[in-house]
Chain A
Amino acid sequence: MSSESSDFFELKVISPTRLLTEGRVTELQVPGLDGYLGIWPGHRPLNACLGPGEIIFKTIDNREERVTIKGGVIKVEPAKILIMADLEEK
């Protein structure tokens, strides 16, 4: 996976109840425990806990999408980002 130079990454957001989103994304903001983290393609591998807030990302066709979460864990790899989100269940 030589993605240092690529301009998108694969994002997958899962929760125990369902797959929230999966697709190519050009930028991402997630609610870290100490404030929002901005993640761009080619980010260094990173592991972090997420707090309550919104995951905001821009898909490859330039649509902005938001997902509200209660908490979670994010794992960033060079070309792939995995977010395990805890949702407020109805």
Chain B
Amino acid sequence: MSTIIDLRRRIQSVRNSQQITQAMKTVATSRYRRVQKQVVARRPFWHTFPELAISLTRELNLADHPYLQVRPEKKLLVVVITSDKGLCGAFNSNLLNLAASFINEKGQNSQLALIPIGKKAVNFCRNFPWPVAASYSDGVEKKIAAISQSLSQYFDYEFIRQNVDAVYLIYNEFRSVLAPRLTATRLLPLAADLSGRSSEHPEPIWEQEASTIINYLLKFYLKAQLEHVLFESQVAEQAARMMAMENASRNAEDLISSLVLLLNKMRQAAITKELLEIQTTVEALQ
């Protein structure tokens, strides 16, 4: 008899877990929608910016801009972007595996400094002998603008003074709801293809020195790119959590149905046994 009670308890506890995972899924879905909306709103900028940058730089020889200088990679900054919280499937672990192999590989012949963003990344970066230049965690989603602002200034400062030869970003890029794409990409020096000059229009007036404008534009780009990457990671995180919670709810459902089946079988068996006992007693009395 005790097993039936145990089973009932077990089913109840699985139901409770299922309720939790369902609630978390709902939360992740609404967050996902919210971040997704922002990402969509940002698209026009990414459609138009290259046009602007290319047409502005066409008239100049840009190869000597500090942001485009490729130097031997002796000192690197590596930014690792994860989520603050877990329960989002393999979102963080896959990324941290990639980050670990990236750091080990690059660490063999250059000096690194790490910048973790998100609690999981902060903990992860403690495992390495490299210094942590800056770290951000707790509510990253609300601080994206501030983080990009300060990081882009920091990168600008370090890169132009040649304290740092390259900046790499390791993050989850949002591709589809099903799976994010792991990305390790170089932020600085810029890889933009700004070569090729042609002028369909008459020589424009440059209100300021051309280099001033380009400088402004590229700094702007750096910040916007960082913001973009942080947003990508956010969307990917919420999508991953949504999927993970969806799966968990489904598994709980499966577990419940198999437990209920077992329970019913046991109850049936108990009833049959009791009936049999009554039957035999009645027969014995006659």
How distant is B39 from chain A, measured CB to nearest CB, in Å? 10
Beyond A32-B207, A48-B207, A48-B208, whether A73 also contacts B213 by CB under 8 A is: yes
Closest Cβ neighbor of A78 among chain B residues: B201
Contact of A45 (CB < 8 Å), options: B51, B204, B220: B204
Query: Chain A interface: which of B40-48, B81-89, B239-247?
Result: B40-48
A54 at the interface (CB under 8 A from B): no
Q: Are B201 and A89 in contact (CB under 8 A)?
A: no
Beyond A44-B204, A45-B205, A47-B213, whether A73 also contacts B44 by CB under 8 A is: no
Query: Quick one: CB contact mask for B15-49 with A, threshold 8 Å, 1 for yes?
Result: 00000000000000000000000100110110011
Query: Quick one: CB contact mask for B43-87 with A, threshold 8 Å, 1 for yes?
Result: 011001101100110000000000000000000000000000000
B224 at the interface (CB under 8 A from A): yes
A15 at the interface (CB under 8 A from B): yes
- B206 neighbours in A (Cβ, 8 Å): 46-48
Closest Cβ neighbor of A88 among chain B residues: B145
Query: Quick one: CB contact mask for B148-165 with A, threshold 8 Å, 1 for yes?
Result: 000000000000000000
Query: Quick one: CB contact mask for B168-202 with A, threshold 8 Å, 1 for yes?
Result: 00000000000000000000000000000000011
B268 at the interface (CB under 8 A from A): no
Place the interface of chain A in its size category. 20 to 34
Q: Are B213 and A49 in contact (CB under 8 A)?
A: yes
A76 at the interface (CB under 8 A from B): yes
Contact of B56 (CB < 8 Å), options: A14, A17, A32, A75: A75
Q: Are B52 and A45 in contact (CB under 8 A)?
A: no
Closest Cβ neighbor of A77 among chain B residues: B201
Q: Are A45 and B48 in contact (CB under 8 A)?
A: no
B227 at the interface (CB under 8 A from A): yes
Q: Are A47 and B210 in contact (CB under 8 A)?
A: yes
Q: Are B42 and A16 in contact (CB under 8 A)?
A: yes
Q: Are B52 and A75 in contact (CB under 8 A)?
A: yes
Q: Roughly how many angstroms separate A82 CA and B56 CA in the complex, as a whole number?
A: 11
B276 at the interface (CB under 8 A from A): no
How distant is A2 from chain B, measured CB to nearest CB, in Å? 13
How distant is B132 from chain A, measured CB to nearest CB, in Å? 27
Q: Roughly how many angstroms separate A46 CA and B55 CA in the complex, as a whole number?
A: 12
Taking each of A15, A32, A46, A84, which has the highest tally of chain B beta carbons within 10 Å of its own beta carbon?
A84
- A32 neighbours in B (Cβ, 8 Å): 207
B217 at the interface (CB under 8 A from A): yes
A10 at the interface (CB under 8 A from B): no
Pick 8 A–B contacts, CB within 8 A, sort by A: A16-B42, A16-B227, A16-B228, A37-B207, A47-B56, A47-B210, A49-B208, A78-B201
- The 10 A-B residue pairs whose C-beta atoms are closest, nearest first, are A48-B207, A45-B204, A19-B44, A16-B224, A18-B41, A89-B145, A46-B205, A45-B201, A16-B45, A14-B45
User: Which residues in B have some Cβ–Cβ distance to A below 8 Å?
Assistant: 38, 41-42, 44-45, 48-49, 51-52, 55-56, 145, 201-208, 210, 212-213, 216-217, 220, 223-224, 227-228
